[in-house]
């Protein structure tokens, strides 16, 4: 199953939970893994303020990986 949007994932979680009521008593039910991913993609973080660290020089990924 390919899920495109967070709303699709939320709907899939509801479907899996409804299809397996015994999962509510399991330590690590299948839907909990999906819920974790939904939570990680739904977080609203503040933008990074890299200007707070003027003494640091940032390295791009290519330079880092080829060093």
Structural domain including 32 reads 1-44
pLDDT tens digit string along 51-63?
888 898 889 999 9
Identify the DSSP state of 25: G
53 within some domain: no
What pLDDT, on a 0 to 100 scale, did the predictor assign at position 16? 92
Count of domains for the chain: 1
Residue 61 and residue 16: Cα distance in Å, rounded? 39
Among 38, 40, 55, which residue's Cα sits nearest to residue 3?
38
Mean pLDDT (whole number) for 9-19:
92
Strands (E), the chain: none
Give, as one character, the DSSP assignment of residue 24.
Answer: G
Q: Would 23 be classed as within a structural domain?
A: yes
Q: Is residue 62 part of a domain?
A: no
SS3 2: coil
3 pLDDT more than 70: no
Is 64 strand, coil or helix? helix
């Amino acid at each position: 199953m390919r899920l495109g949007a967070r709303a699709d994932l939320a709907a899939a979680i509801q479907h899996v939970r409804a299809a397996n009521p015994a999962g509510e008593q399991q330590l690590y039910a299948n839907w909990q893994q999906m819920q974790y991913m939904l939570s990680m993609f739904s977080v609203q973080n503040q933008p990074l303020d890299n200007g707070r660290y003027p003494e640091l020089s940032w390295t791009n990924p290519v330079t880092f990986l080829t060093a």
